[in-house]
Amino acid sequence: YDPMIAKLITWGADREQARQRMMDALDSFDIRGVTTNIVFLNALVSHPAFASGAISTGFIGEEYPEGFSGDGGSAEQQELFAVIAGYLRAEARLRATHVHASDADSPWKMLKRTGSGN
């Protein structure tokens, strides 16, 4: 959810059902390419004070006086992300070193230009 991208509105028979639907919807969002505040909003909606309705306009400042840093995930998740990031970086480097036949300096095009590749 980000107000510049989408608005999220949920409803239910009662507050708890609407809150559960909101958490499900936030968990289902898949927005790529931009930073969103989905993790922050999910933390707010999941908070016991929010669930009970015992919040005020000072809720965020009271609950997150040092700011919100989010959950970095479990050690297993962090290790998995590191492995995936390493793989993607190696893959990108490998792709960058490949010579493509469509490149202007491709050996295949050079061969054709010299007349040797009839």
Label each residue of 83-113 as H, E or C.
Answer: HHHHHHHHHHHHHHHCCCCCCCCCHHHHHHH
- The answer to which of 8-22, 44-58, 85-99 has the lowest mean pLDDT is 85-99
pLDDT (0 to 100) of residue 1: 46
**Where residue 91 falls among pLDDT bands split at 50, 70, 90?**
confident
Q: List, in sequence order, every residue forming a beta bridge with 2; answer none if it has no partner.
A: 6
pLDDT (0 to 100) of residue 115: 58
Which amino acid, 87? Y
pLDDT (0 to 100) of residue 25: 94
